[in-house]
Amino acid sequence: MEHGLLDLVTFEKADLSSMPKIQNESVDIIISTRTIADINSFPCRLVKAIAEFYRVLRKGGRIILSDECPCLKAQSEQEKVGVTRWQLAKAISHLIGRPHSHEVEPEDLEFITTLVGFQRCRWAVFKGESIPPRRINHFVVSATETTNQIENPKLRKAFMGEIKAVKKVFDEKGGVFPPRYIFHAVK
């Protein structure tokens, strides 16, 4: 591999809430981007994952986590596209019985990490970035595919209309993702 990366890094595919192949206190740093909400799709899975992070990190090891903040209501006109996109994706997934992301407040993440033993927990919230057209197009395709799995025709039609409305607002005004946080803690 280019630049000798394989000599510096070990890659291991694992369920973050159970990583038996990774030894206790064998990892220096854990960096996770846009994963926390997906881990939290399953009850108590996030607590188990944070406990696993603690187990595999060396003393003094660090976690750096980043994800979207929960945002039930858009705080600005530009946030409307991003917030509605999340609401629709979660509602559709729920209706067809598919797991969906559950965003985590940074305060709750701080509680969980402190509970399992992490120290010096710090976090900051940053304004959401502009949504690129490819992400909206991906949302439209993906949401349309999942919406087609809704059995009730009136409900399916209503969701299709909302998907098209999000795309229209984006095409006319653009949009931004909900705010993001970056969270840091030390073992």
Q: Where are the domains of the chain?
A: 2-186
The mean of the pLDDT values for the chain is: 90
pTM of the model: 0.80
Give the pLDDT of residue 1. 53
Q: Which residues of 138-175 are buried (b: 16+ CB within 10 A; e: fewer)?
A: ebbeebeebbeebeeeeebeebeebbeebbebbeeeeb
* 6-40: pLDDT as tens digits: 777 777 788 888 999 999 999 999 999 888 888 87
Give the pLDDT of residue 70. 78
**More confident position, 43 or 75:** 75
Per DSSP, helices labelled H in the chain are 5-8, 36-39, 45-56, 79-95, 106-116, 133-147, 153-173
Please tell me the class of the 2-186 domain.
alpha beta
